[in-house]
């Protein structure tokens, strides 16, 4: 476990990863405290649907009642970005954890047993990887019906092949190590060998990729929502809120940036959330890259 | 392994991948009810009652393998089908839409690679100093930007605030009328190349002006990746023995870095640029949509959401083939550049 | 180092040069006058086809309208008065089952060929021979041959060559074309039908030369119901209209060029070119208008106030479009529907025949708030209507009673429904709207929120679905209530009441609305030639809607046009396809 402590220390020393950690911590606080920071109004049924203050089309600028202003259709931006943090975490964690699980299982089977199993699984991943992932995700969301759940399922289906491949590669490396031979020689079952010996050592690169991918997952989910394939209109989702701003990027004559808040604010939240995770992931990479000398 | 045999073997491997991809896509679309798949052909609400007739006409309720077989039979005969999205045969649609996407790729890839290499080298040479941190921060910020948001912001500033300075679309109205007249010959439908071939400065400038924002958007997003790759590759290269020798010989640091270390560090970057190009050539959906640069990516997106299955399948064939060919070219190039690598084998 | 600095300077200078040359000097100071002689419009959507026998959407209809002409056209802004285009005059037989058109001499197609009565006969016979599935040709078949097409539901033919041949004939020594109807038909309606894009006159020689139906009757069935790939006039055109096709750059742009042979004289054509661009993003279209790059742009309802008070923008408002939007109740929902909750009245769902109770329908109707909807969602630009027959159609009766928003009455009817006191029992169902349509979503929310205000046990969820999914759901009868709009084919009340109120209509059918008296009245009115009787019928039908309440009639939207000040001569005719409308009568000048 001192491995982790050493890692932790390195993370904190690196200014970039420190910034990343701080950002992520901030977002975690926002997500947990959402019901207090932006309480849903009385009688509001679904807290993830942003409350509407009337049905007018034109976005309203920041004011006493709406700290960040409102979007098209009078959805409160402040409420939306705060609860959108929860949505982002939910999507990211669900997708990454399920993808990791599938990837670990299939990758381990392929890497450890090799042979036919390996070929089959690798061909299947080939098929998935040969197709541009965004389009595939779009097709899947179309099929499953527009909703956040469909987005999560689609992203899982699109993402797992890369992880399976990665785990397989790592296991191939680790498999030939002495201690694995030893365990096998002692009569340990394959399953036990995988779980106790191979996986723990193969897992690091995967975790790095996973942490970096949290940002990528949120970006892709936001892109899908932006294109109208993700969260429904009015849902507290950053991508969806940016979509609301699409018609308002140019204001009236003389005030071209009039609706800046509708465009800028949801996007900034996406940017910083992803930035935090990317900084962290980048630092991880630096730390675990075997080709670089460690200080 | 002999080069020709290797190429043939690799190209033959496309076939099972193509089968797999198309079967998979077909499978997904079969999850839609025949009625839903019939709505693709509905241009007018009146046709609502005709949905069952549409199902009949296109055999949308036949079993999976019958429909797949029919489609496959047509493809093998050279008929890729009709794209409802653009109202033309698919075999015409792809070459029709490809030039826009290629134009973006042709400009974006060099920008990404050159800028990425430049900053990656700088970063590696000053590892862990402020320059390194600063460059990495900016690059990672680019990587973290939602592409659609960046596109919107750029339009907001350069099209809105600066009133029409850098507009979306491929050409301005006047120029787009001009290029269809007999005086301008269309060779490739890539505006910049055609403008050069026609020796027409006005068209060239106009198309370049329209390219600035989309290429910037794509580049900013992808630059970080190349930069980071170059950086770690440079760091590895700088740690090698021959660098020590070069330094010991008293060569100036600049020469050590730029001439010796960089050349070797470029290898992985070159291979990645192949994939980058292939990826961009399959269409940057969001950029194409936001900047009205309707190319393959835009088409694939429309096809995916409107259930234009024939188009999605054709797109799958196109991208799968593209990726396999690019993989092949990259692998062959790799063996030329790095003598340790053998065709069909791993690194020595 | 120096080399690098030099490269940077060169790059920066290059960029500045680019921008300076490209910069058109927008910003303050009005809209510049650009592209003289060219009309440019930017709108949304996409073209389907240019073939008059196939096209059934407004974008295609608009381009066909510019390139082709029919026998007659609308007179100015009237939808019930006509001027002769390819015909100089016409006579209607006393028994109203024959109409003869005298064909205009000395008219030439855009390739120079002369237009004759043969071309006219060919145009209509061709349409009826091709009769693509789910196309517009039923509008020729029903009046002439009393069928809805050449084929029945199973693909078997219900007409033969003789029937089609006899329906349209060249008579009087090649100077006239005569239509023969199998039974009397109101000719006013038929003339309206002839004004549509499906009534376009095509060039027989041109079509045959390109592989179209040769005009003979052996093997005519081979040409019937073609695939789009085989459609000859899909992307080429040869018409008698003011403009001809120059280039169709799929996707996104179509360019038409002046027809040198136009019969009224090429010099009378106001625009050398007509360019239509399909641009999905409103900000781009807006800036094009403001930069003078477009003369007309389509503005979504949410943004109509963006251009308020802008110099040089000509905003024409309050245009009574012939379109209507409404909710519709499904009286017999399929049991496996995911939109009815538990499927029974246990507080968590609704039974499949929930809406069959008139009190339920009345209650829900009174719960809808038209004022809020019109003011906020429609930006004030709509008028409530009480039935499918709207203002601008003949026999529109302003005095027909209408419902209005009243929560007390809503509560009363819902608590006295056939199912019992719904405030106490409660119900749950889902309203669907097609994704991206904020106006429709708002209508659903208004209804849902008002019901919730009556009783918190009335829970209506609002769900977005893709357009294809919505259509399939309607067809599959799974929906509880849907919102749908109707845009006219021709300006006759029959075209509106049939889909809304006839048991086989587009909306009434999937809703299982069936009133035998109403059906009989509609069928009579469709072919009735007596105007007094027609008025009676349609007045009764308007009231029937009020009494039967198959749906909540929402509004007739008022349209807008945004031109630059340089465009003159626009007038509004709701029957014309496309936003510019009567383009031939308009002009563009710097003053």
pLDDT tens digits, C120-135: 999 999 999 999 877 8
Nearest to C541 by CA among C483, C482, C487, C496: C496
Contact A241, A80 (CB under 8 A): yes
**Mean of the pLDDT values across residues C170-184?**
94
Backbone conformation region of residue C569, classed left if phi is above 0, alpha if psi is from -120 to 50, else beta: left
Q: Pick the residue from chain A with its C-alpha nearest to C312.
A: A253
CB within 8 Å: B235 and A292: yes
Q: Does the CB of A64 have a partner CB in chain B at under 8 Å?
A: no
Q: Distance (Å, rounded) from C-alpha B17 to C-alpha A125? A: 10
Q: Distance (Å, rounded) from C-alpha B29 to C-alpha B37? A: 8
State which of A6-20, B186-200, C12-26, C171-185 shows the largest mean pLDDT: C171-185
CB within 8 Å: C468 and B40: yes
Q: Which two tokens stand for residue B252?
A: 């100036």
Q: Does the CB of B157 have a partner CB in chain C at under 8 Å?
A: no
- Residue C248 CB-half CA count within 13 A: 20
Instruction: Decide if pLDDT at C137 tops 80.
Output: yes
Q: Does the CB of A212 have a partner CB in chain B at under 8 Å?
A: no
The pLDDT, as a whole number, for residue B72 is 87
B341: phi then psi, degrees, rounded to nearest 5: -90, 135
Residues of C in contact with B173 (CB under 8 A): 34-35, 38, 40, 275, 277, 288, 293-294
Point out the residue among B35, B39, B160 whose CB comes nearest to the CB of C283: B160
Q: Which two tokens stand for residue A203?
A: 């897992």
Separation in Å, CA C242 to CA C124, C275, C321, C580: 21, 14, 25, 15
Q: Which of B149, B290, B325 to mutate to test binding with chain A, by most A CBs within 10 Å of its CB?
A: B149
Q: Does the CB of A290 have a partner CB in chain B at under 8 Å?
A: no
Would you tell me how many other CB atoms lie within 10 Å of the CB of residue C6?
Answer: 10
Lowest mean pLDDT among B72-81, C217-226, C420-429, C467-476: C467-476
Q: Which residues pair with C557 in a beta bridge?
A: C382
* C467: closest CA of chain A, how far (Å): 11
Q: Distance (Å, rounded) from C-alpha A51 to C-alpha A9? A: 43
Point out the residue among A126, A226, A292 whose CB comes nearest to the CB of B17: A126
Contact C41, C297 (CB under 8 A): yes
Q: Distance (Å, rounded) from C-alpha C391 to C-alpha C396? A: 6
ipTM for the whole complex = 0.81
Point out the residue among A144, A239, A274 whose CB comes nearest to the CB of B144: A274
Contact C447, C367 (CB under 8 A): yes
Q: Distance (Å, rounded) from C-alpha C517 to C-alpha C497? A: 13
Nearest to B347 by CA among B277, B271, B279, B259: B271
CB within 8 Å: C441 and A233: yes
pLDDT band of residue C23 (cuts 50, 70, 90) is very low
Residue C158, burial from CB neighbour count under 10 angstroms (0-12, 13-18, 19+): middle
A53: phi then psi, degrees, rounded to nearest 5: -105, 70
The pLDDT, as a whole number, for residue A135 is 83
Separation in Å, CA A23 to CA A17, A27, B6, C516: 10, 6, 50, 68
Instruction: Decide if pLDDT at C74 tops 60.
Output: yes
Q: Which two tokens stand for residue C315?
A: 């905003």
β-pairing, C458-465 vs C427-434, is parallel
Q: Does the CB of A256 have a partner CB in chain B at under 8 Å?
A: yes
- The reply to whether the predicted model has a pTM over 0.90 is no
Q: Does the CB of C463 have a partner CB in chain A at under 8 Å?
A: yes
Neighbour-count burial for A2-22, b at 16+ CB within 10 Å, e otherwise = eeeeeeeebbeebebbebbbe
Q: Distance (Å, rounded) from C-alpha A259 to C-alpha A266? A: 12
Instruction: Decide if pLDDT at C25 tops 50.
Output: no
Nearest to A263 by CA among A235, A241, A233: A241
CB pairs under 8 A between A and C: 68
Query: What does the pLDDT look like over C38-52, one tens digit per residue?
Result: 999 999 988 889 999
Q: Distance (Å, rounded) from C-alpha C46 to C-alpha B87? A: 9
CB within 8 Å: A55 and C372: yes
Q: Distance (Å, rounded) from C-alpha B224 to C-alpha A16? A: 15
Separation in Å, CA C306 to CA A57, A255, B316, C377: 11, 11, 42, 16
Query: What does the pLDDT look like over A196-246, one tens digit per residue?
Result: 766 776 676 677 778 778 888 999 999 888 888 888 888 999 999 998 988
Residue ranges in B146-200 assigned as alpha helix (H): 147-155, 173-179, 191-197
Query: What does the pLDDT look like over C570-581, one tens digit per residue?
Result: 999 999 988 998
CB within 8 Å: C472 and B36: yes
The pLDDT, as a whole number, for residue C258 is 96
- CA C217 from chain centre, in angstroms, equals 34
Instruction: Decide if pLDDT at C53 tops 50.
Output: yes
Would you tell me how many other CB atoms lie within 10 Å of the CB of residue A52?
Answer: 17
The pLDDT, as a whole number, for residue A294 is 37
Residues of A in contact with B31 (CB under 8 A): 143-144
Q: Distance (Å, rounded) from C-alpha C469 to C-alpha C199? A: 33
Q: Distance (Å, rounded) from C-alpha A245 to C-alpha A5? A: 44
Q: Distance (Å, rounded) from C-alpha C204 to C-alpha C117? A: 10
Contact B306, C48 (CB under 8 A): no
Q: Which of A57, A145, A147 to mutate to test binding with chain C, by most C CBs within 10 Å of its CB?
A: A57
Point out the residue among B38, B42, B292 whose CB comes nearest to the CB of C279: B292
Cis peptide before C251 (omega within 30 of 0): yes
Q: Distance (Å, rounded) from C-alpha C462 to C-alpha C370? A: 18
Query: What does the pLDDT look like over C296-322, one tens digit per residue?
Result: 999 988 888 888 888 889 999 999 899
Neighbour-count burial for A103-140, b at 16+ CB within 10 Å, e otherwise = bbebbbbbbbeeeeebeebbebbbbbbbbbbbbbbbbb
Contact A174, A205 (CB under 8 A): no
Q: Pick the residue from chain C with its C-alpha nearest to B208.
A: C18
Query: At CA C167, angle to CA C166 and CA C168, rounded to 5?
Result: 90
Residue A200: which residues within 8 A CB-CB, separation 6 or more?
none
Residue A121: which residues within 8 A CB-CB, separation 6 or more?
A106, A107, A109, A110, A164, A168
Point out the residue among C300, C459, C464 whose CB comes nearest to the CB of A247: C300
Query: What does the pLDDT look like over B208-228, one tens digit per residue?
Result: 999 999 999 999 888 887 888
- Widest CA span in chain B: 84
Nearest to C483 by CA among C330, C318, C320, C370: C330
Nearest to C320 by CA among C373, C402, C396, C376: C396
pLDDT band of residue B101 (cuts 50, 70, 90) is very high
Contact A73, A261 (CB under 8 A): no
Using DSSP's 3-state secondary structure scheme, residue C400 falls into coil
Contact C393, C321 (CB under 8 A): no
pLDDT band of residue C19 (cuts 50, 70, 90) is low
* B315: closest CA of chain C, how far (Å): 17
Using DSSP's 3-state secondary structure scheme, residue C180 falls into strand
Q: Distance (Å, rounded) from C-alpha A235 to C-alpha A241? A: 8
Residues of A in contact with B309 (CB under 8 A): none
Residue B92: which residues within 8 A CB-CB, separation 6 or more?
none
Show which subunits contact B, needing at least 3 CB pairs below 8 angstroms: A, C
CB pairs under 8 A between B and C: 159
**Mean of the pLDDT values across residues B62-84?**
86
Residue ranges in chain A assigned as alpha helix (H): 2-13, 15-37, 77-113, 115-129, 133-144, 148-175, 178-185, 190-192, 199-226, 238-244, 260-288
**Residuewise pLDDT in 10s, chain A (295 residues):** 556 666 677 777 778 888 888 999 999 999 999 999 989 888 787 889 999 888 888 899 999 989 999 999 899 999 999 999 999 999 999 999 999 899 888 888 887 777 888 888 888 888 888 778 888 888 888 878 788 899 999 999 998 988 888 888 777 777 667 666 777 777 777 667 767 766 776 676 677 778 778 888 999 999 888 888 888 888 999 999 998 988 888 887 777 788 989 989 999 999 999 999 988 887 777 776 655 443 3
Instruction: Decide if pLDDT at B270 tops 50.
Output: yes
Q: Which two tokens stand for residue A194?
A: 């995988």
pLDDT band of residue C494 (cuts 50, 70, 90) is very high
More confident residue, C467 or C542: C542
Q: Does the CB of C44 have a partner CB in chain A at under 8 Å?
A: no
Q: Which two tokens stand for residue C25?
A: 């000097």
Using DSSP's 3-state secondary structure scheme, residue C98 falls into strand
Show which subunits contact A, needing at least 3 CB pairs below 8 angstroms: B, C
Q: Which two tokens stand for residue B230?
A: 């170059």
pLDDT band of residue C354 (cuts 50, 70, 90) is very high
The pLDDT, as a whole number, for residue B348 is 35
| DSSP summary character for residue C391 | B
* C394: closest CA of chain B, how far (Å): 22
Q: Distance (Å, rounded) from C-alpha A137 to C-alpha A146? A: 12
A88, A94, A96, A99: CA torsion to nearest 10? -150
Q: Which of C26, C302, C440, C468 to mutate to test binding with chain A, by most A CBs within 10 Å of its CB?
A: C302
């Amino acid at each position: 476990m001192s491995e982790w402590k050493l890692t932790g220390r390195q993370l904190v020393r690196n200014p970039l990863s420190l910034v990343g950690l701080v950002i992520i911590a901030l977002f975690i606080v926002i997500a947990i405290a959402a019901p207090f920071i932006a309480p849903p109004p009385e009688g509001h049924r679904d807290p993830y649907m942003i409350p509407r203050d009337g049905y007018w089309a034109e976005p309203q600028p920041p004011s006493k009642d709406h700290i960040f202003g409102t979007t098209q259709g009078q959805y409160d931006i402040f409420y939306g970005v705060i609860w959108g943090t929860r949505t982002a975490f939910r999507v990211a964690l669900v997708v990454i954890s399920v993808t990791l699980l599938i990837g670990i299982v299939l990758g381990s089977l392929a890497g450890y047993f090799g042979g036919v199993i390996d070929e089959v699984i690798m061909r299947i991943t080939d098929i998935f990887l040969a197709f541009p992932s965004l389009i595939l995700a779009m097709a899947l969301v179309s099929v499953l019906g527009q909703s956040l759940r469909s987005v999560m399922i689609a992203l899982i289906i699109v993402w797992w092949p890369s992880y399976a491949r990665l785990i397989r590669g790592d296991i191939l490396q680790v498999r030939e190590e002495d201690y694995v031979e030893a365990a096998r020689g002692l009569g340990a079952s394959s399953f036990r060998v995988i779980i106790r010996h191979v996986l723990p050592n193969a897992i690091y690169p995967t975790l790095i990729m996973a942490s970096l991918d949290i940002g990528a997952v949120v970006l892709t989910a936001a892109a899908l929502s932006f294109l109208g394939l993700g969260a429904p209109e009015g849902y507290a989702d950053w991508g969806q809120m940016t979509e609301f701003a699409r018609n308002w990027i140019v204001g009236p004559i003389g005030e071209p940036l009039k609706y800046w808040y509708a465009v800028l604010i949801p996007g900034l939240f996406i940017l910083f959330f992803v930035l935090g995770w990317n900084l962290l992931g980048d630092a991880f990479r630096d730390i675990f890259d075997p080709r670089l000398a460690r200080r | 392994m002999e080069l020709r045999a290797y190429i043939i073997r690799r190209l033959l491997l496309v076939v099972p991948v193509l089968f797999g991809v198309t079967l998979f896509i077909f499978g997904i679309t079969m999850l839609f009810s025949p009625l839903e798949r019939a709505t693709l052909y509905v241009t007018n609400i009146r046709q609502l009652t005709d949905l069952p007739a549409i199902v009949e006409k296109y055999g949308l309720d036949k079993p999976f393998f019958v429909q797949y077989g029919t489609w496959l039979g047509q493809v093998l005969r050279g008929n890729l089908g009709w794209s409802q999205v653009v109202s033309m045969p698919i075999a015409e649609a792809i070459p029709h839409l490809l030039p826009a996407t290629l134009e973006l790729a042709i400009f974006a890839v060099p920008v990404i690679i050159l800028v990425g290499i430049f900053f990656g080298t700088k970063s590696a040479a000053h590892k862990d100093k402020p320059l390194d941190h600063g460059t990495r921060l900016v690059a990672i910020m680019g990587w973290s930007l939602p592409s659609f948001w960046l596109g919107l912001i750029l339009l907001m500033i350069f099209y809105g605030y600066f009133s029409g300075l850098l507009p979306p679309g491929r050409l301005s109205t006047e120029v787009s009328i001009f290029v269809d007249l007999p005086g301008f010959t269309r060779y490739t439908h890539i505006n910049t190349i055609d403008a050069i071939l026609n020796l027409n400065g006005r068209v060239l400038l106009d198309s370049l002006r329209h390219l600035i924002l989309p290429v910037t958007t794509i580049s900013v997003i992808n630059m970080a990746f190349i930069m980071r790759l170059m950086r770690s590759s440079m760091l590895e290269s700088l740690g090698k023995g021959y660098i020590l020798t070069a330094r010991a010989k008293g060569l100036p640091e600049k020469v050590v870095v730029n001439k010796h270390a960089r050349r070797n560090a470029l290898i992985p970057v070159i291979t990645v640029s192949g994939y980058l190009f292939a990826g961009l050539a399959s269409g940057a959906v969001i950029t194409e949509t936001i900047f009205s640069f309707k190319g393959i990516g835009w088409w694939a997106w429309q096809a995916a959401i409107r259930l234009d299955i024939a188009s999605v399948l054709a797109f799958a064939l196109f991208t799968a083939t593209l990726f396999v060919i690019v993989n092949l070219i990259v692998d062959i190039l790799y063996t030329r550049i790095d003598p340790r690598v053998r065709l069909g084998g791993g690194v020595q | 180092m120096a080399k690098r600095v030099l490269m940077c300077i060169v790059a920066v200078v290059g960029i500045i040069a680019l921008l300076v040359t490209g910069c058109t000097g927008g910003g303050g100071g009005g809209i510049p006058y650009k592209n003289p002689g060219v009309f440019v419009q930017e709108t949304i959507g996409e073209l389907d086809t240019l073939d008059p026998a196939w096209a059934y959407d407004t974008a295609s209809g608009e381009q066909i309208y510019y390139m082709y002409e029919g026998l007659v056209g609308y007179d100015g802004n009237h939808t019930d008065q006509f001027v002769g285009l390819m015909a100089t005059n016409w006579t209607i037989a006393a028994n109203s089952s024959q109409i003869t058109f005298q064909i205009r001499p000395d008219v030439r197609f855009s390739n120079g060929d002369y237009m004759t009565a043969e071309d006219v006969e060919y145009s209509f016979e061709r349409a009826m021979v091709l009769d693509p599935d789910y196309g517009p040709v039923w509008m020729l078949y029903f009046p002439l041959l009393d069928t809805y097409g050449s084929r029945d539901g199973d693909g078997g033919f219900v007409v033969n060559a003789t029937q089609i041949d006899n329906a349209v004939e060249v008579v009087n020594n090649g100077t006239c074309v005569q239509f023969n109807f199998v039974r009397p038909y109101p000719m006013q309606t038929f003339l309206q039908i002839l004004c549509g894009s499906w009534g376009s006159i095509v060039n027989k020689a041109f079509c045959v030369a390109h592989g179209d139906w040769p005009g003979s009757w052996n093997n005519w069935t081979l040409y019937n119901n073609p695939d789009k790939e085989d459609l000859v006039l899909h992307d080429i055109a040869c018409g008698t209209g003011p403009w001809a096709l120059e280039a169709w750059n799929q996707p996104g742009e179509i360019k038409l060029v002046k027809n040198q042979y136009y019969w009224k004289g090429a010099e009378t054509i106001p625009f050398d070119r007509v360019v239509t661009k399909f641009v999905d993003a409103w900000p781009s279209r807006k800036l094009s208008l403001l930069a003078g790059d477009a003369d007309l742009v389509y503005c979504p309802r949410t943004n109509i106030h963006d251009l308020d008070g802008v110099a040089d923008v000509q905003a024409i408002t309050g245009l009574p479009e012939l379109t209507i939007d409404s909710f519709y109740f499904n009286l017999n929902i399929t049991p496996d529907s995911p939109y009815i909750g538990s499927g029974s009245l246990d507080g968590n769902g609704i039974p499949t025949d929930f809406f069959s109770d008139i009190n339920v329908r009345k209650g829900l109707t009174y719960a809808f708030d038209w004022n809020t909807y019109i003011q906020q969602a429609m930006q004030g630009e709509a008028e409530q209507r009480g039935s499918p027959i709207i203002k601008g159609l003949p026999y529109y009766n302003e005095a027909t009673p209408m419902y209005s928003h009243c929560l007390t009455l809503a509560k009363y009817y819902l608590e006295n429904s056939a199912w019992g006191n719904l405030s106490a029992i409660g119900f749950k169902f889902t309203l669907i709207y097609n994704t991206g349509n904020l106006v429709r979503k708002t209508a659903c929310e208004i209804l849902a929120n008002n019901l919730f205000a009556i009783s918190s046990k009335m829970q209506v969820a609002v769900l977005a679905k893709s357009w294809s999914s919505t259509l399939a759901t309607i067809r599959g009868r799974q929906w509880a209530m849907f919102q749908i709009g109707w845009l006219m084919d021709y300006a006759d009340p029959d075209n509106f009441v049939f889909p809304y109120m006839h048991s086989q209509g587009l909306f009434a059918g999937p809703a299982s609305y069936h009133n035998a008296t109403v059906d009989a009245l509609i069928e009579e009115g469709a072919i009735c030639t007596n105007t007094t009787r027609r008025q009676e019928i349609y007045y009764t039908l308007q009231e029937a809607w009020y009494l039967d309440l198959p749906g909540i009639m929402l509004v007739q939207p008022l349209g807008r046009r945004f031109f630059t000040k340089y465009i003159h001569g626009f007038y509004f005719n709701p029957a014309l396809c496309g936003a510019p409308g009567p383009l031939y009568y308009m002009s563009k000048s710097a003053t």
